[in-house]
Structure 1
Amino acid sequence: MARRAGALVGVGLACAGLVTVTAAEAAAETIVIDGYTQTVVESSGTPVLCPANQVLLGQSHSGDENGSTTYYCGLLLIDGQMAQVSAPTWSTDQRESNSFFTAPADQVLVGRQHTGDENGSTRYATATLSAWGRTVELASYRWTPAQRESGSYAKAGDYEVMVGRQHSGDETGQTRYQFARIAD
């Protein structure tokens, strides 16, 4: 906790122009900080985007298409610098009841939009990360075990971000989430 607090103070001072932190001086570590959370009615068609420089860390859903979906965003500190997130690119629509989406290599999810029931459309927003003037690479991609959509919850583990999602059927169908680790 002390390292996290020190890193946050260092980033805050650097952002305020009170201290200059070089890559050589920063500790070689990644810190994921919980950030913005938004809950919407799944079927509403409301596009959800993480705020500037935040990425999706997880998602949960309760009930049918009129139930609530919650999106969990977060900030990344990489070697003492807040990661920069590019402008989002939206995917094409796909039918939710047979949806499968993974972000392109070394890209992360930053948003999602769903309209209607399981026959409605879903699309995803992706972005790239950069820190210290370099693109952040991802590794150790993994899928969660399948779970019933109507009571689903998944959140990234240590040093991870959300990069994909798969769903089949209606709210009683199965959903899996894909996460990837920030490469060292």
Structure 2
Amino acid sequence: MIRTTFHAYGFALLFGLTLFPVAMATSEPPATGAIIILRDKNDATCSLEIPAEGSGLTYRYELEAFGTKCKGFVARTIEFVELPSALKIFLSDDDWCSESSSDQDFWIKLRTTKKSTTVGITKITTLFDYNRNVIIGPGLLLENKYQKVDGEVLDKLSCIKIVASRAFNVPLPPAATERDRSWSGSHPEDDVNLTCYSNQIMTGRKHMGDEQGYTYHECATAVQSGASVVIQTITKSTGIKESAGIYFVCPNNRVMIGREHIGDENADTYYGCAPATNAGRNLTVTPHGWSDSMKEANSEFRCPTNQFLIGRWHQGDENGNTRYRCATLQ
């Protein structure tokens, strides 16, 4: 039996680290600054950070994905606090944050029209009482909306996408490029314990056969402005049942560095994620959409050029489907 661990930076180091939270507590401290606050039917809260004004960046919160802030939170109301101007907000019941899925019941698009936009606690169902292109609160415009006939909105919010405007006089940092992409050696899927080499990030994975078939992971160095990106402390996720059809995404502004899975499809999988820096600055991770589904057995996935892995989903055994998610690093 072959077992590949890249080097001493491996998952053995992660066991003593704090796990990613995967479900919100019943309450949070009061939030300050630009923030979106969700509340459930019992008034427990969960707060979402906002991309910086003028950054042009996108934050996505998919509430069914492990590693996502507010994982599993059932939002009934929403509150907007001190939001910057020209911020776009997309709300949907679709797990993939789509506005074209045939399965979704609703989506709604909002946009702020002034600085420091604050709109108090609002029922998400109430948003659909407003017409398109109508100001629904001081500085908050409802641009567009969709609700399926008899579609359920109450307590069904699954995804929030937040897009900041791009400042004309503040250039975005260049996107990191990849260098030295390479595959790991083979290791049986029921005995995977792998972390990329120091200062490398996962970019792909392939698997052949059942849980005793072989798996490979691909890693690469990220380069920005001619310098190699530095990977900071790796944190290990909580265990996720491999076959359960549960989405995992690294928390905001972290990239995937490693993966562990011991056993068959009913055993747990753990992911290692970490922030990345260049010249002492934390890089921003902008997620892209999920890949198409592929049959796990005899599958191969590589992130598009100059993108890096941040998420994975799998359901069932080796005949079940798998999806991946990649991101741009800036």
Compute the TM-score of the two structures, normalised by the length of structure 1. 0.80
Match of 1:78 among 207, 224, 237: 224
CA distance in 1, matches of 2:212, 2:278: 39
Q: Secondary structure at the match of 2:187?
A: strand
CA distance in 2, matches of 1:90, 1:115: 15
1:111-150 equivalences under 5 Å are 111-150=258-297
Runs of 4+ residues deviating >2 angstroms: 27-31, 34-37
Match of 1:175 among 310, 315, 322: 322
CA distance in 2, matches of 1:28, 1:175: 31
CA distance in 2, matches of 1:70, 1:178: 17
CA distance in 1, matches of 2:225, 2:305: 15
CA distance in 2, matches of 1:73, 1:107: 15
Give yes or no for contact 1:36–1:51 (8 Å, CA) kept in 2. no
Give the CA RMSD over aligned residues. 1.5
Q: Secondary structure at the match of 2:305?
A: coil
Which AA in structure 2 matches 1:182? Answer: L
- Report whether the alignment pairs 1:69 with 2:222: no
Segment of structure 1 superposing worse, 170-179 or 149-158: 149-158
Number of aligned positions between the proteins: 156
The match for 1:100 is 247
CA distance in 1, matches of 2:291, 2:209: 20
* 1:89-138 superposed Cα distances (whole Å, 9 cap, x missing partner): 11111110013210001100000011111111101000111012111112
Give yes or no for contact 2:175–2:328 (8 Å, CA) kept in 1. no
Which AA in structure 1 matches 2:237? Answer: S
1:45-64 equivalences under 5 Å are 46-64=192-210
Give yes or no for contact 1:34–1:72 (8 Å, CA) kept in 2. no
CA distance in 2, matches of 1:29, 1:166: 26
CA distance in 2, matches of 1:141, 1:35: 20
CA distance in 2, matches of 1:53, 1:171: 31
Segment of structure 1 superposing worse, 62-71 or 90-99: 90-99
Higher helix share: 1
Higher strand share: 1
Structure 2: give runs of 5+ residues left out of the alignment: 1-172
Change (3 A) 1:160 1:42: same
CA distance in 1, matches of 2:240, 2:286: 26
Deviation, structure 1 residue 36: 4.6
Deviation, structure 1 residue 140: 4.3
Match of 2:300 among 132, 136, 153: 153
Structure 1: give runs of 5+ residues left out of the alignment: 1-26
Deviation, structure 1 residue 31: 2.3
Max Rg structure: 2
